[in-house]
Amino acid sequence: MSHTTPPRAALLAIAGFYFCYFAFNGLFSPYWGLYLAALAFPAWQIGILTSLTQINRIYAPTIWGWLADRSGRQSLILRIAGVAALLGFTVLLFSRDFWPLFIGVLLASFFWSAALPLVEATAMNLLRGDGGAYARLRIWGSIGFVVASVVAGYLIEVLGVAMLPWAVISVMSGLAVYSFLVPQGDAGASARGEEAGFADILRRSEVQALLATCFLMALAHGPYYSFFSIYVADHGWSKSAIGWLWTLGVLAEIAVFWLMPQLTRRFALKSLLIFGLLVAALRFVLIAWGVSHPALLLLAQLGHGFTFGCHHAVSMAYIHKHFQGRHQAKGQALNIAFSFGLGGSAGGMLAGWVWPDWGGEWVFAAAALTAGLGALIAWLGMGRREAR
């Protein structure tokens, strides 16, 4: 953190960044697929276009993290990322054709994906690795998601889904502004005395199991992020109701984030990781077969508190535990690459390819099996002794 930036100002800047970053997710996750469906794109093209942000998370965060580490210009890179992402997403204002949207969103998300791991590493260093404090700071991202998804849902009801590009540009403008306010990360401050090399860390069986479970959890969520809104809309749910379904999930996420300090004191990280994966398996079964039953679908959305909120906080704690000092930015990037990148993009594209033949019920059932496999790997590979 910059020596001239007061801690409170730094926390406010990071909170604002989280708000805008996840407000963008609050627009894209529920409504991007609906927007593309309204433009009459086939399912396989929807699967590709909804997965572009995850595809860039496979490789882009690692490139940007390495560049930030080598250059020591983390703040400059973050500012470039914020401005370039805003400019790239302006393609949504001018085109409704597949290839211009593909190229524009691909380039925009290449820069957008650079931002989060840099800010995550800065936040964890600023908070001295306090996972509970991190979870409560990260709540502002969840609040941004809620505000964006609810407001956009009602605006779409009134103005139509064609207003989505303007909403995206508004939120990305805020993200560009906050990219200039987040302080310089200070990864080197905790690097003194570190012994393990990056390759040595990757050879640890616990780290390999963690990355595998993160991949499988994101793979299982691929159909959810790409097709949940379309699936429930096909079963008679209104656009505003869809916004509230997403909001309920994020409210559960906020509650779990707030309770994470107590949960991590009471339960081992491994137990929380396995529990989140098992909840995901149950959740996707409920979505698959309970979409027409409001009580079951509401229960499934409450599970998001553990399938995302708890899982993310626990994964962050593991990453901070294993990737110390100058390895932190690379560790954050690797986590994003395996989860939102490889897992999320593969899940979205696979869902798009098999959706017409399998139908939503069996796609979400396959997602449940994927999460169950992740729980098995976590149980077998995450080690026996755990610090709470």
Q: What is the pLDDT of residues 168-200, one digit of tens each?
A: 999 999 999 999 999 876 544 444 445 578 888
Show the tokens assigned to 1: 């953190």
- pLDDT tens digits, 11-65: 999 999 999 999 998 898 788 988 999 999 998 898 889 878 777 878 888 888 7
CA 101 to chain centroid, in Å, comes to 21
Name the nearest CA neighbour of 85 among 99, 67, 105. 105
Fold of the domain spanning 7-186+197-381:
Growth Hormone; Chain: A; (1.20.1250)
DSSP per residue, 184-216 = PP-GGGGTTT----HHHHHT-HHHHHHHHHHHH
Residue ranges of domains in the chain: 7-186+197-381
Instruction: Say whether pLDDT at 271 is over 90.
Output: yes
Q: How far apart are CA 122 and CA 36, in angstroms?
A: 35
Torsion from C-alpha of 262, 268, 271, 274, nearest 10 degrees? 90
Q: Where are the beta strands (DSSP E) in the chain?
A: none
The contacts of residue 56 (CB under 8 Å, 6+ apart) are 106, 109, 110, 112, 113, 341
